[in-house]
Structure 1
Amino acid sequence: MCKTYCFILTSVILLQGKATGGPVRMGYEYMPEEDAWLRLHIEPAIWPDARLRCHLEGGALASPTTSAMTKALVAMLAANKMTMRHAYIGVHALLSKGEFMSMEGIPMGNLSARWREGEPNNMKNEEDCVVLDGAGEAIDVSCSTPRPYFCRKESTRMIVNKCGTTADGQTLSEAGYEGWRHNEPNNVEKEFCGAIDRDGYLNNCPCDRFALFICEVTPK
């Protein structure tokens, strides 16, 4: 069992399931048409923070690159009863005013989603980010308004199995440390997340338990 003083390791998340089909831990859902995983973050964030969160999860803000992707994003809004709300996607004009493109550098005109009638209108000359509505139409908005957002992770970044892998697909051994506490992991109470106790031993914990956590940043 995980004690209250354990540290949740963001880089050692133990996942259970298969890399094709069905929901995966952390709220991601597999999309076979794109061979990718999608997540709708309900908790609002401004666009730059949403972009950072997706990056920290090993992915990127999702863009409607294909009709299948657009349908999947709209379906996630509907499944969460958010058809009347908007969610950030990875389309922006922050590099060149008025020239909207996806995180992958694809111009808006080559994406599947189309602008809502009257958009983009660049209201107050400050609408450089884009949201998707429940009908699958795009709207330019201010990047500084907190909104829900979509993240996408490529299938190769979501290698998951019942043996325990890190968030980016490495085994614990490959990551450099696998010092489990005696009789751990034991998967009591659906313990699918990894933690480290104060004495340095690894433990597994329920993913919904509150705990301190450690972040890893790659130096530039």
Structure 2
Amino acid sequence: MLTPQVYFDSFKMKSLLKYFVLLFCLHFNDGSQSFRCDYTYNPIVRGWFKHIVVPANWYDARLRCALEGAVLASPTSNKMRTEITKFINVSGNEEACTEIFTGIHATFAKGAYISVEGIPLSKIPQFWAPNEPDNKEDKESCLTLNSNGDLADVSCDTTRPFICYRAVDSKKRINECGTIDPEYRLDARTNSCYKFHTVARNYSRAFFTCYAEGGHLAVINSDTEATVLKELFARYPGGHMLGNFWKDVAFVGIHDWGERWDFRSIHGKTLVETGYGTFSGGEPNNFTPGEQCGAIYRSGKLDDLWCDRPAPFICEKDPDYPDVCRAETDE
């Protein structure tokens, strides 16, 4: 029979072993061959694909892929062209010639087409749809790919589905927050990961950014979490943020639902239910009016802010979401 001391030592040894196994998995198994499980690994092109079927304009598609740690996919080789076209016709109707946006564009200079990775069109296999390219009304600077593998030029402001792609040999590795983004840091007090965005965006774009990164605008659930965000905010003095905007307040995940003073979290809970509702003195005041989106002062207290004006913002991420998967390779 084990003595209490021997039992304790055995338990401690097992705990240490689990800790080192976790570290081993983090540094070796979740390396450059691991990525988000909402992407599918393709061994033919040695990369990860995600087909986003909700149409977006080209600029939002490019941004969405970049925020997810990928690029807007382009048929930069015959292999890529073949694999991308497999995603396009989800209905199975080959006559539909459904189009998706590619990462090939001429938004920097008219007619100077390159992929988002910087590959010029002259180095990309070109199979054009009938009567394309035509640069209709001199407004078509983005390329689509249809289910036949043919390219066409369209306006970048139109909307199409798209595919994000991440090469398996990318150097960035998955961190403790389950992301390749090193700016997300895990805080042991809340077991959540946070990122402070110094590039100001309006509330809608801030929400979009956090969502694409696998998180959400930070929702404060306790005084402790308010302290965590206050300390995070303190790391970013106003002088470290570029642009003409208010730098002492940052968007978080609460807003007024339109019924005056009914502030709730982006997950639908009242501030009482979330566990934190301490506003700064005199707030909320719906100044001028139109302040229907929630923010946090450097003091850690809440404020109501204009939704349509840019501000820095804080994203929160569950370290276990999205799930991380390892590429099935022969290596």
Q: Provide the residue aligned with 2:70 in structure 1.
A: 59
Q: Provide the residue aligned with 2:104 in structure 1.
A: 91
- Could you tell me how far 1:166 is from its partner in structure 2? 2.2
TM-score by length of 1: 0.65
Q: Which runs of 5+ in 1 are unaligned?
A: 1-16, 182-192, 202-209
Task: Give the conservation status (yes or no) of the 8 Å contact 2:69–2:181.
Answer: no
Amino acid at match of 1:58: G
Aligned residues: 176
Amino acid at match of 1:211: H
**1:177 aligned onto 2:187:** yes
SS at match of 1:94: coil
Write the mapping of 1:74-89 to structure 2, written as runs, cut at 5 A.
74-79=85-90, 81=92, 83=94, 84=96, 85-89=98-102
**1:211 aligned onto 2:224:** no
Amino acid at match of 2:131: G
Write the mapping of 1:1-220 to structure 2, written as runs, cut at 5 A.
24-25=36-37, 27-79=38-90, 81=92, 83=94, 84=96, 85-155=98-168, 156=170, 165-168=177-180, 175-179=185-189, 198-199=221-222, 200=225, 211=267, 215=315
Q: Which runs of 5+ in 2 are unaligned?
A: 1-28, 192-213, 227-265, 269-312, 317-331
Based on CA coordinates, which of the two structures has the bigger radius of gyration? 2
> Could you say which structure has the greater relative contact order, defined with CA pairs below 8 angstroms and 6 or more residues apart?
1
- Could you tell me how far 1:169 is from its partner in structure 2? 6.5
Instruction: Flag the structure with higher helix content.
Output: 2
SS at match of 1:45: strand
Task: Give the conservation status (yes or no) of the 8 Å contact 2:74–2:102.
Answer: yes
TM-score by length of 2: 0.45
Describe the shift of the 1:168–1:82 C-alpha distance in structure 2 as closer, same or farther (beyond 3 A). Answer: farther
Describe the shift of the 1:80–1:160 C-alpha distance in structure 2 as closer, same or farther (beyond 3 A). Answer: farther
CA RMSD of aligned residues (A): 3.5
Q: Summarize deviations over 1:39-83 as a string: whole Å, max 9, x none.
A: 111111111111111111111111111111111110111345475
Range 53-62 or range 81-90, more displaced: 81-90
Q: Summarize deviations over 1:180-219 as a string: whole Å, max 9, x none.
A: 66xxxxxxxxxxx878761339xxxxxxxx8379548xxx
